[in-house]
Amino acid sequence: MMEWKQQWREPGLEQEHGRSPAAQAEWRRMLGSLEGHENEHAEIARRWAPTFQERLLGQRESRLQQRFDQTLRKAKKEQKQFDRRTRHGQTQGVSLDTSIL
């Protein structure tokens, strides 16, 4: 049995409460976009979980690391393609209008 755990650390806005309402709203908007982008990364990883399971379970110990590394390379390639396609989330709104901060 394989188990999936996801964790990411949300960035904070220094002195958020001293910021203007517009700056706070922009920060919250960007965080929402960032969360959506990171959730898509997590979805890619979840789609790969069955592939890891299929390729690793029942393998001889001598081949286990090789199969894991091959599968991980392919999964990472898909993650990198996603980031290239979204410009690391910029096309999804993961950018901050610093002119209002």
Confirm whether 6 is domain-assigned.
no
Tokens 């390379």 correspond to 73
| Domain enclosing residue 28, as ranges | 20-89
Q: What is the pLDDT of residues 18-72, one digit of tens each?
A: 888 998 899 999 999 999 999 999 999 999 999 999 999 988 999 999 999 999 9
Confirm whether 5 is domain-assigned.
no
Give the global pTM. 0.84
47 close to 74: Cβ distance less than 8 angstroms: no
pLDDT at position 2 is: 62
Q: State yes or no: pLDDT of 98 exceeds 70.
A: yes
pLDDT at position 100 is: 83
Residues 6 or more apart in contact with residue 6 via CB below 8 angstroms = 42, 45
pLDDT at position 14 is: 74
Q: What's the angle, vertex CA 19, arms to CA 18 and CA 25, rounded to 5? A: 135
* Number of domains, the chain: 1
